Amino acid sequence: MQTIEEVQRQEQTFSRRSSSVGEGMTGMKTSSFLGGQVAHAIALNGISKTYGSVTALHPTDLSVDKGEFLTLLGPSGSGKTSLLNLIAGATAPTTGAILLDGRNITQMPPRERGIGMVFQNYALMPHMTVFDNVAYPLRVRREPTSTIRAKVTEALERVGLRGFEDRKPRQLSGGQQQRVGIARCVVYSPAIIMMDEPLGALDKNLREQMQGEIKRLHNELGTTIIYVTHDQEEALNMSDRICLMSAGRIAQLGTPDELYFEPRNRFVAEFIGESNLICGRVTGGGRITMTGNRSIAVPAGAWDEGSELTLMVRPEKIRLAGAHDTVADGVNDLSGEVASVSFVGGMTRVTVKVENSLTITAKMMSERAESRVQPGAPVRLCWSPTDMVVLKE
């Protein structure tokens, strides 16, 4: 449990704005406006961060549209938290500029940026009631008592905690504490809300429930949200766009559909969802030859004969067929032996050994145990060449 002083410092760092700034940066007139409209809520131009000889974030350009839900996704050490801290002002960049609504805020103190923050550890003040925790940012801003009561009541209504006003944090479940943290952030209507792995401490069912509530709040409020997570399913479910980070760089930026169905490189293909990667040499006629001298058809393209290609096909695009089943012309058809079968509820994952160095996974709707294919059974793997993606990097 954090001390009261630590919690207060954390909250003040990210959510208090000085009285000279008023209600934050929204609506300011600057030369960066185009026809009176700001192009982006946040724009990062060549932003980077180094610690001595260690580069946490290489020079990066990134823009976030107003009202967008952007997720910073990646493994530990990928640079996503460094990027979040730079936007929040918790750390200063080594190079580059940060623009908020068209205004350069690179050197602006965190308290003056008008950015809301939801923490993974909730950062609730244990001696305060739910009402007082949510009211805290408004009292810092010296809002009138009547305004505070109205805004806190509305915020608690939004997160489903009406009637919990007099409880202390220790009397709440983890999910309820996180809702209080969200209510405390939205109560003063910041133009931008940043969430640092806010659901990481919750169990699976509660995490999925909270994902739905955060998405609902985003739709209702129209607020720009920058969300940090290492959970790929969470990112795919919640985001308008995903910024996938790797080794301090943006590996790919796009919609969930684009990252899943059109990964740019091997890292993206393997990090987002399950994938089968197949390597081979182009032999002409729109085919490649793999290990063991087997060949498959590949998507149409100007592939140089003799060049090496790496292709990806998602497990759900692969169909299992019996040894004597008819397969349509033009469909890839590889025979193999079932190595393992994994029942994971609604889906069953079947891994097939095709060659000594090649295994391919198929995923399909589950059937009862007596109907499932068994390890050791001979099968054929069938899929369309149009369901494959050539990884270009």
pLDDT category of residue 393 using cuts at 50, 70 and 90: low
Residue 7 reports pLDDT greater than 90? no
Average pLDDT rounded to a whole number, residues 228-242: 94
Domains of the chain by start residue, with CATH? 4-267 (3.40.50.300), 274-390 (2.40.50.100)
The confidence score (pLDDT) of residue 39 equals 60
How many C-beta atoms surround the C-beta of residue 108 within 10 A?
A: 16
| Sole residue written with tokens 């998602």 | 314
Report residue 26's pLDDT band, with 50, 70 and 90 as the boundaries.
very low
**Tens digits of per-residue pLDDT, 61-92?**
999 999 999 999 999 999 999 999 999 999 99
Rg value, the chain, Cα = 25
Whether the predicted pLDDT of 107 surpasses 80: yes
Tell me which of 21-35, 147-161, 295-309 is least confident. 21-35
Residue 388's φ and ψ, nearest 5 degrees, are: -100, 150
pLDDT category, 244, cuts 50, 70, 90? very high
Higher-pLDDT residue of 381 and 300 is: 381
31 pLDDT higher than 50: no
Interatomic CA distance for residues 100 and 105, integer angstroms: 6
**Mind spelling out the 3-state secondary structure of the chain?**
CCCHHHHHHHHHHHHCCCCCCCCCCCCCCCCCCECCECCCCEEEEEEEEEECCEEEEEEEEEEECCCCEEEEECCCCCCHHHHHHHHHCCCCCCEEEEEECCEECCCCCHHHCCEEEECCCCCCCCCCCHHHHHHHHHHHCCCCHHHHHHHHHHHHHHCCCCCCCCCCHHHCCHHHHHHHHHHHHHCCCCCEEEEECCCCCCCHHHHHHHHHHHHHHHHHHCCEEEEEECCHHHHHHHCCEEEEEECCEEEEEECHHHHHHCCCCHHHHHHCCCCEEEEEEEEECCEEECHHHCEEECCCCCCCCCCEEEEEECHHHCEEECCCCCCCCCCEEEEEEEEEEEEECCEEEEEEEEECCEEEEEEEECCCHHHCCCCCCEEEEEECHHHEEECCC
Q: CA 115 → CA 78, 100, 137, 223, distances in Å?
A: 23, 10, 12, 11
Q: What is the pLDDT of residues 114-132, one digit of tens each?
A: 898 888 777 889 999 999 9
Tell me what pLDDT residue 368 has.
85
Q: Which two tokens stand for residue 170?
A: 């220790």
Q: How far apart are CA 67 and CA 289, in angstroms?
A: 48
Which two structure tokens, joined as six digits, stand for 284? 């002409």
Q: Which amino acid is at 293?
A: N
Which positions ≥6 away from 157 have C-beta within 8 Å?
Answer: none
Highest mean pLDDT among 90-94, 196-200, 303-307, 325-329: 90-94
Q: How far apart are CA 90 and CA 387, in angstroms?
A: 44
- Average pLDDT, rounded, for the chain: 86
